Structure 1
Amino acid sequence: MKKVLFVLAIAAFAACNNAAETTTEAAEATVDSAAAAVEATVDSAKASIDSTAAAAVDSAKAAVDSLKK
């Protein structure tokens, strides 16, 4: 009976150890996806700022052109 308990204890330890590794991998995947989301947000904001700046420049040019006429 002691041998059976010993085998069960080793199996439980092995199962817990594997769960810890899986949790670490899941945490790394979560960090990677969060980093990707942040990069996408930054890229989106940059594109929005660039388009807004371009629109402002175009509006200023149009205003100057309208004053020349």
Structure 2
Amino acid sequence: MNKLLVALGLAATVALVGCNKDKAPETGATTGEHLENAANQAGHDISDATANAANETATAVDNAADATAAAANNAADHAEAAAHDAKEAAKDATAATAGAVENGAANVKKEAQQ
């Protein structure tokens, strides 16, 4: 965008300074040629800026996709670890419950024998 403004400013300067059509500019080019060259340069600058913006956008999209994939993998790893922990907790709870039932049954049997 800055290049475009500089090119347009240059074109305006050339137009204002080179208004005298009777005298050729020092470069030998007419004012019209100067304006045409400035317009061509502005077109190239706009094309370059557009290409740069497209490349930067593509890079940003790639980076976002990579970050999203990494976050999904991280979430999956955490979910797997949580599922494993829940499974282990369920095993421990089942074992504790079974132990309590056996202990209670042993107490009932002991009291029944007395």
Are 1:42 and 2:42 matched, yes or no?
no
In the alignment, structure 2 segments of 5+ residues that lack a partner are: 1-45
| 1:4-61, Cα deviation, whole Å (9 max, x unpaired) | 1111111110110011000000000111111122112111111111000001111111
Residue 83 of structure 2 aligns with an amino acid whose one-letter code is V
Question: Out of 48, 53, 77, which is 1:8 matched to?
Answer: 53
Residue 73 of structure 2 aligns with an amino acid whose one-letter code is E
| TM-score calculated relative to the size of structure 2 | 0.57
| TM-score calculated relative to the size of structure 1 | 0.91
Which one has the largest radius of gyration? 2
Higher fraction of helix: 1
Task: Please identify runs of 4+ aligned residues in structure 1 that moved more than 4 A.
Answer: none
Are 1:18 and 2:59 matched, yes or no?
no
CA RMSD across the alignment: 0.9
In the alignment, structure 1 segments of 5+ residues that lack a partner are: none
